[in-house]
Structure 1
Amino acid sequence: MGKVLARVKLCSLLLVPALGMAQDVSFDDIRPILQARCVMCHAGEAAPLGLRLTSLDELLKGSIRRQVVARGDPSDSELIRRLKGQSQPRMPMTGPPFLSDAEIALFERWIAGGLQAGSQPADATLSALPLQRPPAGQPVTYEHVAAIFASRCVKCHSPYGLMGSAPEGLLLNAYSAILDRDERVRVVPGAAGASELVRRIRGQSRPQMPYDGPPFLSDEEIQLIVDWIDQGARDANGQPSPSPVGARVRLQGVLGEGWTLDSLQLVVGPGTRIDKSPDVGDYVEVRGRWGADGRVLVERIRRR
């Protein structure tokens, strides 16, 4: 009996500092993580499932389905399950990289400690961080554009989007998905003008994206994406993606003199299929492959 009491006493002594650590965490500690990684999507009327993370009050309300934090119980909190990937889709949608183990542990300690409010009012509003351009002389990387995709595109272009499966199979929730080349390329590293993604957000290809526009992307947002692609569509570590020579492309735009598409040079040869007698000034669709010389090798062109 004495050994049992001793063990209980020891467990109690060990538990005290753990609880103390949990109670030391307040909403002030997780606020910067929410601002940097979460509120870009979870804000306003378009917040997925109505879950807004722009204030403590909104977080505690949860989504239209359920509360996402269970006071004192991290393991029963949907927020933690999403951050760890135990529930899908894993959050944040811009991952990988997802939150670090240390960041997730901070959320767990906050929940275990009773969801302490911190120094600011519970309705104090968070806003997404402004666009971040690299310092002068440094290239644009995926880190600089990921927030745009997350806030304006991922709600549809993800495995669990508002439309069910992603439209035309295009996933914009991760770097590897955006650069996928299986069916056709939407991003041609080094050539924004030949990238279907850019032509969609500019409105050169229809329908213009994002689908819930207007408002569409701002000129600043579009230019950042263009710079990212023109500089090699670099990953978060700054490594450029190789050119997708031979990959299929599908583009739309206005046909110009000398077989151009909005100034993009096309290669039209004897094997090119030409439908509906397209003429200069017509809106056309071009299907072909990306050539080693930086031009589109046209397999089919038709007036639309």
Structure 2
Amino acid sequence: MGERLARIILCSWFLAQGPALAQTVSYDDIQPILQVRCVMCHAGEAAPLGLRLTSLDELLKGSVSRPVVNSGDPAGSELIRRLKGQSQPRMPMTGPPFLSDAEIGVFEQWIAGGLQPGSRPPSVMVESAPLQRPPAGQPLTYNHVAPIFASRCVKCHSTNGLMGSAPEGLLLSSYAAILDRHERVRVVPGASAASELVRRIRGQSLPQMPYDGPPFLSDEEIQLIIDWIDQGARDANGQPAPSPVGSRVRLQGRLGEGWTLDSVPLVLGPGSRIDKSPGVGDFVEVRGRWSQDGRVLVERIRRR
């Protein structure tokens, strides 16, 4: 937090100096912001549109379709347009919060001043930040899992993703979107095994996600998401999400003894529809609603 505050103060100071200081702003001044807010997505082979922001050379190279900075022209630079939300989707994908006006101002002054390289060698920037867990005794929050969604999922699951609209309408670009239950719930707080999101990234529901895998998520990434959900899918402030009792679910997996879907208990009633005579061990799809006692009230089950 101290480093971020110092950076914001520095950015504010830059803005206060006016155009005369534009020439003094260099890549050294924007690199820390790129590292904290951008590199989690824009690094490696999976970088959206091939735009890597891990070095000055990569930034100047731009994406597969165009340069993203035009020397001397901040208003005409796609990087600035994305940071301000003038082009969509707005960046960074983990926002809100997006970059502050002061932080964006540093990028504008760097571009206006001719893209000065500074003195920092390109090799000092690491490609991605390691996964972070909270100190012992403190819960996981959305802040701990957001980088995973941002780097591996949001490129498709956003309003203007690589596949156009988000597949199946599933947005993973914000906490509210991930917990949305309008059509059906994909994350059941406190019950990762009943969460479609987890079953997708583990390959229990098909197709396994992310869609551009392999490589899929690492065991460490998957476990972090599982632990976050099992601890209540807490928001960035540590507040647990409410239980989605009555919400629709759609899950796939192996049918077990005593009407279970892997480890998830199922409840069949007179209105439950059973298609294609599923038996123990069969791969099935279950549609139903989440009950207060932690079971799925089956509306339809069918062998796939």
In structure 2, what is the equivalent of residue 250 of structure 1?
Answer: 250
In structure 2, what is the equivalent of residue 195 of structure 1?
Answer: 195
- Give yes or no for the alignment of 1:234 onto 2:248: no
In structure 2, what is the equivalent of residue 91 of structure 1?
Answer: 91
Shift of 1:122: 4.6
Greater Rg by CA: 1
After superposing the two structures, state which structure 1 stretch, 60-69 or 176-185, moved more.
60-69
In structure 2, what is the equivalent of residue 37 of structure 1?
Answer: 37
| SS of alignment partner, residue 220 of structure 1 | helix
Amino acid in structure 2 at the alignment position of 1:199: R
Change over 3 Å in CA distance of 1:33–1:17 after alignment to 2: closer
- Give yes or no for the alignment of 1:207 onto 2:197: no
CA distance in 2, matches of 1:136, 1:70: 46
- Count of residue correspondences: 290
In structure 2, what is the equivalent of residue 47 of structure 1?
Answer: 47
In structure 1, what is the equivalent of residue 9 of structure 2?
Answer: none
* Kept after mapping to 2: 8 A contact 1:57/1:123: no
Name segments (4+ residues, structure 1) moved above 4 Å.
122-125
* Kept after mapping to 1: 8 A contact 2:190/2:231: yes
* Kept after mapping to 2: 8 A contact 1:36/1:128: no
> TM-score normalized by structure 2?
0.90
Change over 3 Å in CA distance of 1:16–1:150 after alignment to 2: closer
CA distance in 2, matches of 1:257, 1:123: 55
> TM-score normalized by structure 1?
0.90
Identity of aligned residues (%): 81
* Kept after mapping to 2: 8 A contact 1:253/1:283: yes
CA distance in 1, matches of 2:32, 2:133: 19
Amino acid in structure 1 at the alignment position of 2:235: D
Q: Deviations over 1:227-257 (max 9, x none)?
A: 1111111111111111111110000011111
CA distance in 2, matches of 1:88, 1:236: 24
Q: Structure 2: state its 5+ residue gaps.
A: 1-14
- Give yes or no for the alignment of 1:259 onto 2:290: no
1:47-196 matches, within 5 Å, as: 47-122=47-122, 125-196=125-196
Q: Deviations over 1:103-150 (max 9, x none)?
A: 212212222232221222356654111111111111111111111111
Q: Deviations over 1:199-241 (max 9, x none)?
A: 0011111111111111111111001001111111111111111
* Kept after mapping to 2: 8 A contact 1:71/1:114: yes
Shift of 1:100: 1.8
Q: Structure 1: state its 5+ residue gaps.
A: 1-14
Q: Deviations over 1:151-191 (max 9, x none)?
A: 11111111122212111111111111111111101111111
Shift of 1:65: 2.5
Amino acid in structure 1 at the alignment position of 2:206: R
Change over 3 Å in CA distance of 1:16–1:136 after alignment to 2: closer
- Give yes or no for the alignment of 1:299 onto 2:296: no
Shift of 1:278: 1.1
| SS of alignment partner, residue 226 of structure 1 | helix
In structure 2, what is the equivalent of residue 285 of structure 1?
Answer: 285
* Kept after mapping to 2: 8 A contact 1:233/1:240: yes
CA distance in 1, matches of 2:101, 2:240: 28
| SS of alignment partner, residue 74 of structure 1 | coil
